[in-house]
Chain A
Amino acid sequence: MRTELRNVSKVYHFDGRADHHDVQALASLSLTIAEGELACIVGPSGCGKSTILNLVAGLERPTTGEVLFGDAPVAGPGPDRVLVFQAYTLFPWLTARENIEFGLRSLRLPADERRRRVDRELARVGLNGFARAYPHELSGGMQQRVAIARALTMEPRALLMDEPFAALDAQTRNLMQEDLLTALGREPKTMIFVTHSVDEALFLADTVTVLSARPARMLDHIRIDLPRPRKRTSRDLNELRERILAQLAEQVRLAERGNVPWGS
């Protein structure tokens, strides 16, 4: 399923007590993600990366423009596009198994099919022994594995990842990236992966889209055809890293100058 944003703008309206103002998160952004592509989106924080995922997931609607999934416009949330959030989104009153099974209730599947799917996803993320554990008994990395399994059990056409590893320490994070690729190795699935980590994007992506500071424009679009598993410090990746970091640094500099009165 191809995912497409056509001239999408998104304006958030803040209606505070003392202050009403609009924030333009996206301004006529166009972006296409091909079927089966692992597309990473990087950009300075607050640039509207997460907004893109929320729009594709159907949790929010564009102010103007169109979001297409396949040939149809996105009308709302659907189990064919499941979003995985940053952290702490497991339901604390459910065990790991029950969390993974959560979305299946709305699919009205027979009990044995539900069990089969949950077992499969538990094995895929390597948490067979933790099915009965409650979220607080799991490490941060394990919790995110459960969150990913909870999304995969829906068998979505596209997986939307909103900085899923951002709250983890650097080593766990690297391991999670490797495991994610291994877990999905045999079934190419469309994945839109938002991150502020350039390293993460380069390690994972088929394509990297670099966004500007808010409102997000596309600064760069890079296709990475290197075989996996990739060596994080290979020359090719280092060159790309330099290129993207320079683009991002420029954006951050501009944003900071725009914000602080003493910027020269």
Chain B
Amino acid sequence: MGLLADTRKGDTASTPDAPSPRVVRSVARLLRLESSDVRRNAVSAASVIVLLVIWQIIADLRLFEQTLFPEPRGIVQSYHYWWANGGLATGLSISLRRMVMAYALSLAIGIPIGMLIGRFPLADWTLGTVVRLLQPIPGIAWVPLAVVWFTSVSESAKIFIVITGGVFPVLVSTSAGVRTVPPAYLRVARTLGVRGLGLFTWVVFPATIPSIVAGMRISWAFCWRSLMAAEIVLAARTGPGQEGLGGLIAVARQLDQINTAGMVMVTLAAVGLLIDGLVFHAVERRIRRRRGLTE
């Protein structure tokens, strides 16, 4: 701390050739971790590094058979290998393409049904009941049906499985959001002459957007999980990365390449974190700020 205190003192003294006080102050702020965002990210990054170090140390102790326990160094080598032969890039792009398609379909199905269920009791008693029945079934349990209904190795089968995982969170969150639209908003709109579909598009939908986005966030995570399940179980095509990231895991299992499995897992975590942080976190923050829901 002594060093930092000195930096501050130098700032107030302001010698002629010293860097401008503003720069000094912002550097000091960074080092002292004054901004809560910077501090949080720095601490998070540090904890990941600590985890990696401990992980490598445990691996180096050789407590476990090397083929059973992935280790950071081995994973880095796997990255080199799969990057060089293009398998990782192919797998990533194939998985993401499936993901985007299945996710878009999940939203296109989930949001409208959620709105209906939330708004109309009759839809809740009928459609809602079906939803509540299907919701607890995990995506992986749909595999036999998907294989029979679609050609077993087809894209459709995988996308179907991903949708069964991704459609429910956004659906349930949307319907809950619709139910909690303040009745006062609807009364205001009606007294201003808005009726029927206008109430839906101008009041219910915008009022529900925060719940929809929260549901979209969870749906994304569920889609991601279901996609891996589908790709691992239904891997068919050969060639590096042709069956997506899940296909890479399946290959790793067959070839006993434990570090390749580890590499895919790290990639899954990284992609998940990146999308969640860059897209959803930012969108949610923007909405909350605009609507005055933050401090």
**Residues in A lying within 8 Å of B, measured CB to CB:** 57-59, 77-79, 81-83, 85, 88-89, 91-94, 102-103, 105-107, 134-137, 150-151, 154, 160
Contacts and interface: CB of A to CB of B under 8 A. Distances in A.
A59 B193 CA distance: 11
B203 to A, nearest CB: 7
Contacts of B185: 89, 91
A103 B194 contact: yes
A91 B193 contact: no
Interface in B172-220: 184-185, 187-195, 198, 202-203, 206-207, 209
Interface residues of B, number: 20
A147 B178 CA distance: 23
Contact of A85 (B187, B193, B194, B195): B187
B195 A82 contact: no
Contacts of A88: 184
Contacts of B190: 59, 77
Contacts of A151: 192
Contact of A106 (B193, B206, B209, B291): B193
A107 B191 contact: no
A135 B193 contact: no
Find the residue from B188, B189, B206 having the highest chain A CB count within 10 A. Answer: B188
B292 interface: yes
Nearest to A94: B206
Contact of B187 (A59, A135, A136): A59
A97 to B, nearest CB: 15
Contacts of B195: 77, 106
Dominant secondary structure of chain A at its interface with chain B: mixed
Contacts of B291: 92-93, 134, 136
A102 B192 contact: yes
B203 A154 contact: no
A23 B292 CA distance: 37
Contacts of A89: 184-185, 187-188
B194 A106 contact: yes
B189 A102 contact: yes
**Which of A82, A93, A107, A151 has most chain B Cβ within 10 Å?**
A93
Contacts of A94: 206
A92 B189 contact: no
Contact of B292 (A92, A102, A154): A92
A105 B198 contact: yes
A154 B192 contact: yes
Interface of B: 184-185, 187-195, 198, 202-203, 206-207, 209, 290-292
B210 to A, nearest CB: 9
Contacts of A83: 187-188, 191
A77 B196 CA distance: 12
Contacts of A137: 292
A194 to B, nearest CB: 14
A150 B291 CA distance: 19
Contacts of B189: 102
A154 B203 CA distance: 18
A143 to B, nearest CB: 11
Nearest to A80: B193
Given A91-B207, A106-B192, A150-B192, 19 more contacts: A57-B191, A59-B190, A78-B193, A83-B191, A85-B187, A85-B188, A89-B187, A89-B188, A91-B188, A92-B291, A94-B206, A103-B193, A103-B194, A105-B198, A106-B193, A107-B193, A134-B290, A134-B291, A134-B292
Contacts of A93: 206-207, 209, 290-291
A94 B191 CA distance: 18
Contacts of A103: 192-194
Contacts of B203: 91
9 contacts: A89-B188, A91-B207, A93-B209, A105-B198, A106-B195, A137-B292, A150-B192, A151-B192, A160-B191
A82 B184 CA distance: 14
A151 B190 CA distance: 12
A193 to B, nearest CB: 15
Q: Which of B187, B188, B192 gathers most chain A CB within 10 Å?
A: B192
Q: Which 4 A-B pairs have the closest CB atoms?
A: A136-B292, A103-B192, A79-B193, A83-B191
Contact of B191 (A82, A91, A92, A136): A82
A106 B188 CA distance: 13
B232 to A, nearest CB: 42
A105 B184 contact: no
A24 to B, nearest CB: 22
B183 to A, nearest CB: 10
A261 B193 CA distance: 46
A77 B188 contact: no
